[in-house]
Structure 1
């Protein structure tokens, strides 16, 4: 049996790449957004994009930058991607994407890359194309550019709680503040602010022509259990569908039962399963 090797892709294959991404509009959203903005050239992306399959029939993709993201990756493609990058020192902070591909990559990469900080093997990928049937919170709105300093502590708290490490540790504050500011300026950051403090927040971290992907959902601890997240997500979905994309998507840890209930109440349905390996 002939083995098809993975290969580095360039702008000449952008059409094939975009057609493949269209086949996985939710699972491939993170990669699709970046390619739509800067193409495939590694020197523009600060990342490499590998492909698997013949030049006439591209079957699978793998993004390798700050994150390792397989897209539409078959078992054969997973093996080829792992073989190509397994001898390199790990430079990414996570592996994220379709669960089968992520866990398959990790099985092959772990012996050379070493231990992970956490493996989350079951993260429902959910989407909706309709406004939520529950009432939207009218106090949830886009964060203004002059409110970045108000949003920033909540963003740090969310990241630390979700990922398990602070984004401002080891000199990371400037870069993380810039990322929060970019989301605000792009009109992708939402919050409910009471007395100068964020009590609910969420962002559209990824936007493509197919979907707007919600990340960074957080409710202040003292406000939890009061339904604020349900109304907040409903407000984000309503605005995103009206202004940004024809669908809204997200992924959530399987063990986060309260969050899953909120998303289901807001009309989200599972369309796949993600996994994440954190380093």
Structure 2
């Protein structure tokens, strides 16, 4: 039995303890919770390892190490241990993302070995709501994307990703993994769009889903249609689907420099509940 603070790779038998840590902050931990709920802690199914930090016999902090490196409820002592493990393993992730304070500490420890990063976004407000917007009517033309509309939605998804992340999701494997993820969301009924004459005018997806919350992602308005309030009415429509059909709380995070998006989210009822940070490689 562990009696000293330590970090180790978690195993399937640690699932209940890991979920208890994740449930302590359901909005901030939505992405990892959704993966663990579906896949458990088996690294092959999870798509990465889950590292755990123990104080005595109690699991208190986690770090997901997959395509993203994500500190979870990580104390300074846990961050130090996770950084040491990550440094020894070498960088295998495309980003570090998580609550701003822990992520900043983790990056400060890893930057001498993994740097430089392609981009560091030091503050991304985490926002949530559990109420439908009172003053913004939902766009009646926003609906679920149909399975036979993949060729229609994909260009908008690629444009959004490239604009947001700074690189095309079609690089590397030709976009196979990205197309598969979009197809998964479409098939699950969690991709939404306003489509006019075969063109996507507005789109958004509900990505991570847990019993507590869901996370909206990929919000995008076609450049030729910006400035018309479509992001607000579109998000109001997506919120109706999210809160009615998916989870009692909807959340998202946004770049702090994206003032128009932040204002639109505030207008449809989102409030800031924390902050994320992202390090992109």
TM-score in terms of structure 1 length: 0.97
Contact persistence 1:24–1:71 (CA under 8 A): no
The number of equivalent residue pairs is 278
Counterpart for residue 184 of structure 1: 186
Counterpart for residue 215 of structure 2: 213
Counterpart for residue 262 of structure 1: 264
Shift of 1:44: 2.0
Task: Tell me how far apart the structure 2 counterparts of residues 55 and 76 of structure 1 sit (CA, whole Å).
Answer: 13
Task: Tell me how far apart the structure 1 counterparts of residues 57 and 251 of structure 2 sit (CA, whole Å).
Answer: 31
Aligned CA distance change for structure 1 residues 55 and 39 (closer, same or farther; 3 Å): farther
Structure 1: gaps (5+ residues): none
Structure 2 counterparts to residues 130-149 of structure 1, below 5 A: 130-133=131-134, 134-149=136-151
Once the two structures are superposed, what CA deviation does each residue of 1:211-238 show, in whole Å capped at 9, x if it has no partner?
A: 1101100000011010011000000011
2:279 match: secondary structure:
strand
Ranges of 4+ aligned residues in structure 1 off by more than 3 Å: none
Contact persistence 1:87–1:112 (CA under 8 A): no
Contact persistence 1:103–1:121 (CA under 8 A): yes
2:20 match: secondary structure:
helix
Counterpart for residue 28 of structure 2: 27
Once the two structures are superposed, what CA deviation does each residue of 1:94-132 show, in whole Å capped at 9, x if it has no partner?
A: 011100111111100111112100000110000000011
Residue 159, structure 1, aligned to residue 161, structure 2? yes
Task: Tell me how far apart the structure 2 counterparts of residues 45 and 268 of structure 1 sit (CA, whole Å).
Answer: 30
Structure 2 counterparts to residues 168-207 of structure 1, below 5 A: 168-207=170-209
Counterpart for residue 94 of structure 1: 95
Structure 2: gaps (5+ residues): none
Contact persistence 2:145–2:186 (CA under 8 A): yes
TM-score in terms of structure 2 length: 0.96
Task: Tell me how far apart the structure 1 counterparts of residues 170 and 45 of structure 2 sit (CA, whole Å).
Answer: 26
Contact persistence 2:203–2:221 (CA under 8 A): yes
Decide which moves more: 268-277 or 169-178. 169-178
Residue 80, structure 1, aligned to residue 77, structure 2? no
Once the two structures are superposed, what CA deviation does each residue of 1:187-243 show, in whole Å capped at 9, x if it has no partner?
A: 110000000010100001111111110110000001101001100000001111000
Shift of 1:55: 6.4
Contact persistence 1:212–1:249 (CA under 8 A): yes
Counterpart for residue 250 of structure 1: 252
1:6 match: secondary structure:
strand
Counterpart for residue 111 of structure 1: 112
Task: Tell me how far apart the structure 2 counterparts of residues 186 and 180 of structure 1 sit (CA, whole Å).
Answer: 10
1:169 match: secondary structure:
coil
Task: Tell me how far apart the structure 1 counterparts of residues 44 and 228 of structure 2 sit (CA, whole Å).
Answer: 48
| CA RMSD in angstroms, aligned pairs only | 1.2
Contact persistence 1:211–1:245 (CA under 8 A): yes
